[in-house]
Amino acid sequence: MAARLAARNMGLRLVQVLLVAVAAGAPVAHAWRKEGHYMVCKIAESFLTIEASAAVTSLLPGWAGGELAATWSWADDERRRYPWSGALHFADTPGDCQFFYDRDCHNTKGEKDMCVVGGINNYTAALMNSSAPLVDLTISLMFLAHFVGDIHQPLHCGNTVDFGGNTIIVRWYNTTTTNLHRLWDLDIVGGILQPGGVKHPSNPS
């Protein structure tokens, strides 16, 4: 079917456009906040061909209103239903600034491929499977869009020893005590987007 063929292309294109160097990640991950995922989806959508865009639209659930970005939180919301998927939101390395798939791409139980790189591979391949049921393609699309968003949060590719910055306590502009991972998830993007920009001692309003 045309939609499925286009969906295959879309899967690859989305990854080609957005897959920056994937390195390591954060086990105790907070969710990269809405705006991060939303922007990544929006940028990806703007690069889709007309054909791929139509395929994406045809795979989206009704509640998304035809907008890929509207599905940004689905993969986070479904973690309870798919507990195994938690490990797919990030990739950790031992802190040597190198990512070796065979060494690093596994969950805490040591199961291979269970990291964000494995997840992106898995759901890209799934989108290219023309005999997969549509419902599976829809799920694959929403996972893929989310995981590509996750890797744009630098601490979803961090160090194992500090759980992707979760154990590094920092103070954000002399106000909130937080951790480095959370700072990236929430405070930086949230601060930029609030009226008046980032709260800063020299710009307290």
Ligand X SMILES: *[C@@H]1O[C@H](CO)[C@@H](O)[C@H](O)[C@H]1NC(C)=O
Give the footprint of ligand X on this chain (CB under 6 A): 84, 88, 113-114, 118-119, 122, 129, 131-133, 174, 201
Phi–psi pair at 184, nearest 5 degrees:
-70, -35
Task: Rounding to the nearest 10 degrees, give the CA dihedral for residues 133, 134, 136, 138.
Answer: 170
Cα distance between residue 173 and residue 77, in whole Å: 31
Of 69 and 128, the one with the shorter C-beta distance to ligand X is: 128
Residue matched to tokens 């040591």: 110
Tokens of 1: 């079917």
* Least distance from ligand X to the Cβ atom of residue 84, Å: 5
* Least distance from ligand X to the Cβ atom of residue 204, Å: 8
* Least distance from ligand X to the Cβ atom of residue 117, Å: 9
* Least distance from ligand X to the Cβ atom of residue 126, Å: 6
Residue 113 to residues 78, 117, 122, 124, 189, Cα–Cα distance (Å) = 19, 7, 9, 14, 30
Evaluate whether 7 touches 127 at the Cβ level (below 8 Å): yes
Cα distance between residue 85 and residue 179, in whole Å: 23
Reduce the secondary structure of 26-44 to three states and give it as a string.
CCCCCCCCHHHHHHHHHHH
* Least distance from ligand X to the Cβ atom of residue 46, Å: 26
